Structure formats: structure tokens, C-alpha cells
Amino acid sequence: MNTTTYHNCDFILEVKAQSIGNWLPIATAPKDGTNILICGGYHGCEYSPCEFHNVDFTGVAFAFWCDDDKCFKDECGNSPFYYHPDWWMPLPQPPKEIK
């Protein structure tokens, strides 16, 4: 499990700049624990008080395949959120200089 998290605003802007036209079908996504960006499809939350299921996923998330739960998650086994996206792309390189 790769739990690297990115919290840098410059990095998010870089993701937006690089993401135009680079989305790939989810069937081609790695299922080896590699962090990727996902979008489309549906998602849900398995636990109260936020319980919801199979809601359209209109955002972008950092996630990886969780073999235990057979879905994409942002934290394998411990996260109540699951994703069944339509599209994915590799993470871009982080900015060279963080301000």
C-alpha cells in the first residue's frame, strides 16, 4: 500500500495543467498499489453518518486499487470511501521547487 499524500497547492495546479487529454480508460489502471488520479463513474461511503452509495463521482481523487475491497480507495481497509471510476491518469511529477 502506497500512502503518499500531496497537500501542495502548486502540485494541484500542476495536475490541472497536465490533465487535459491524458485520461485513460480505468480498465488499463494499475492494480499494484500505485497512487493514481481517478474521475468519473460512481463512489460511496460505507459507514454512518456519511452513508451513501453509488453516487455519481464528479471530482478527481488520489486513489489506488485496494485488492482487499476490490475497488479504488484512498486508504485500503481503513477508509469508508470507495470509488468505481471510469478514467484514470498517472500522477504528474511534483513541482521542482516548493514555495
Q: 3-state SS string over 28-70?
A: HCCCCCCCEEEECCEEEECCCCCCEEEEECCCEEEEEEECCCC
Distance CA(70)–CA(84), nearest Å, equals 10
pTM: 0.67
Note the pLDDT tens digit of each residue in 29-42: 999 989 999 998 88
Give residue 29's pLDDT.
96
The cell for 53 is 452509495
Distance CA(43)–CA(84), nearest Å, equals 6
